[in-house]
Amino acid sequence: MGATTSQRYLGSRRATLLGIALAAIISCWALGLNPLRLFNNNNLRLAGEFILAAFHPALDYQDPIDGAEPFLLTVINATLRTLRFAILAMSVAVPCGAILAFLGSSAWWPNLHHHRFLGIFLRSLYFISRTVMAFARSIHELIWGLLFITAIGLSTDAAIIAVAIPYSGILAKIYAEMLEEHSKEAQLALRAIGAGSIVAFIIGLLPRALPDLATYTFYRLECAVRTAAVFGFVGIETVGYRIKLASDEFHYREIWTYLYVLFALIILIEWWAGAIRQRLKP
């Protein structure tokens, strides 16, 4: 019996892997991909130069310009603008996501057995909130960015709004699911001794869920930093903008300097998130 079950599991697993491989092959054929192009002599040379530059990141411009500000100062300014962009976008997305998560979660609901009309109202609110979440996150921030930049012009404000909209939906969905799935023992105990549903939610559930909520929030901050860098390629003056300028001139050592700074920034945010999570643990 056990051997038969194991064989069925392995057979199903092989079929799944075969299906994935077949789908990948069909997709490559449909897109006209040709891996041999990667081994073109010129491509190999450029790839080799780019990789070698990683071992010698620039500390000054590879092609200095008279009167330009020092290279390292440019790196610092671009990094700070990138971080400010990400923090501003998250400062809008987090409260919007928290409100939507609260409205789109049943974790704080009272017992609805004897409250028919209240139940209809809360379920309607739940459905509307979930719909708003889905709509906000269904469109990528770059698409939102292009739409807003087209509508109101190239500006940091447009890019921040473009990031805040989908991030609000993403944060709301994850926050709501964390609240729904978190242990409710303390919350139920408070209700059993007569506490109201909102009080039991705030005291019994929210503090226990807060470390996980904070961890995910900081992860989205990391994503916002990367997104801010990507917006540099459409003209917003972040690290990505400087990477694009360096790339246009084939200044690979400068590119690696900016990449290493982004890496250090992500490590710093991760360390910050870990320290805060430890403090929030009940």
Q: What is the pLDDT of residue 9?
A: 52
Q: What is the pLDDT of residue 5?
A: 56
- Amino acid identity for residue 73 in this structure: L
Whether the CB-CB separation of 165 and 132 falls below 8 Å is answered with no
Q: What is the pLDDT of residue 41?
A: 66
The whole model's pTM is what? 0.83
Q: What is the pLDDT of residue 280?
A: 80
pLDDT, block means (10 residues), the chain with 282 residues: 54 78 85 72 78 91 82 93 94 95 86 75 91 93 89 86 94 93 76 78 85 92 94 90 92 94 93 88 72
Q: What is the pLDDT of residue 3?
A: 53
The CATH H-level superfamily of 77-280 is MetI-like (1.10.3720.10)
Whether the CB-CB separation of 133 and 173 falls below 8 Å is answered with yes
Q: Where are the domains of the chain?
A: 77-280
